[in-house]
Amino acid sequence: TWPQVNEMLESGLMTLGAHTHTHPDLSTIDVVAIREEIERSNELIASRTGVETRHFTYPWGYWSEAADRVIRSVYATAVLGSGRAIDGDTDLFLLNRVPVQLSDTSVFFRRKMTTGMRLEDIVRRRVAGYRGP
């Protein structure tokens, strides 16, 4: 709920990012629709929290060249789907998600942090027919 989001923000332990308004695959819509999606999302977040979003996560993790141009003009960072580990050379607009689960052993957690999730990413891309970064 929005009160819970505000409580989390007040803790100082997190930041808040945007994810679009209706969760479309941004690789399938035009620039006007992309702008509308992120503007509406940002407006709703600001009206309910007073926070201006600086970070973005691509719905479904799917990037597109058109979306990239818009996202870079609005945000400070952007996150894609799972993939390679993040290092000092990683583009801040092409960050990969690395999901961490309670069931991860310390060995699997270390592997995720050092090598990312390459095999999982290859499978996901093939199944979805995704060809982005």
State the average pLDDT over residues 41-51: 96
Give the residue, 119 or 40, on which the prediction is more confident: 40
Instruction: Give the predicted TM-score (pTM) of the model.
Output: 0.77
Q: Which of 67, 79, 60 is nearest to 15 (CA)?
A: 79
Q: Which of 83, 123, 76 is nearest to 99 (CA)?
A: 83
Per-residue pLDDT reduced to its tens digit, 67-108:
999 999 999 999 987 777 788 898 999 998 877 778 888 888
Candidate ranges 58-62, 64-68, 102-106, 111-115; pick with highest mean pLDDT: 64-68
Q: Helix or strand or coil: residue 127? A: helix
Q: Round the average pLDDT of the chain to a whole number and report it.
A: 88
